Amino acid sequence: MSAFHNTAVGGHSGFPVTYARLKQLFAWHGMKKAVLVFVQSCLVCQLSKLDRSKLPGLLQPLPVPQQSWQIISMNFIEGLPISAGVNCILVVVDLFSKYAHFLALKHPFTAVIVAKLFHNQIYRLHGLPATIVSDRDKVFTSKFWKALFQLADVTLNLSTAYHPQTDGQTEHVNQCLETFLRCFVHACPATWRNWLALAEFWYNTSVHSATTKTPFSVLYGHEPHHFGVSAEDVSVPVVLSEWMQERQVMLDLVRQHLLRAKDRMKHQADKKHSERSF
């Protein structure tokens, strides 16, 4: 077995090739299993060959929050042309309602600038979240940013950059926003700042595949007015108690949809991964 595997003639081939060479000349009881164990235990093969098995580690989705703006994710879109003095976008997405805010920034920016923008645009509307998920950007890992959230009793969850298992939600929102801007400013890229508010309204009033509802309706309990016409104009108004009951039922339904979406995502992702213990 050593001569037909470890030498240049064997070439450290895999089990099928090594076994095929051996069985042309030799045969003994338990030969196939012995060759398999010998090839699998070859140290040179383990050090030199690529591991072509499925990626280790099953997907571990983030927990589903109990309410809106309890867990949020943040990311940046950089490299944009200068428009009205800004060239970056801070994307903030709620994990429960999928509601998103698109905030314009000027690069280079510091942790103080981002913290003030967050305080003026996000905190005044939704308060401080319990957990923030972000990639390992130098802004978020700065000492000031950590100290700010520590004083506010907010946990900062750090993930690796472009890691879809954790920050994938914001990455997909970035793609949607970039596609929207390309469709409307492809002829005049420097005017993207004028379309940012409309892009935010468009995204938040679009039906999300995970919740089967619009982020606007999940957060506010009703759909927005389009062209001056609302759903109340064509339906019988409901009393407050009935609205509150329907609101709670909708929140429970959204949570069930999110759990089902995460299970579906985990099932599809685990097809390309294998569970291992080291």
Q: How confident is the model at residue 162 (pLDDT cuts 50, 70, 90)?
A: very low
Question: pLDDT tens, 96-132?
Answer: 888 999 999 998 887 788 888 888 898 888 888 887 7
Q: How confident is the model at residue 92 (pLDDT cuts 50, 70, 90)?
A: very high
Q: Give the C-alpha separation, 94 to 122, whole Å.
A: 11
Sequential DSSP letters for 80-143: PPPBTTB-EEEEEEETTT--EEEEEE-SS--HHHHHHHHIIIIIHHH---SEEEEE--TTTTSH
Q: How confident is the model at residue 242 (pLDDT cuts 50, 70, 90)?
A: low
Distances (CA, A) of 19 to 11, 34, 50, 52, 97: 13, 10, 20, 20, 58
Q: Give the C-alpha separation, 159 to 207, whole Å.
A: 28
**Structural tokens at position 65:** 């929050």
**Structural tokens at position 118:** 């967050």
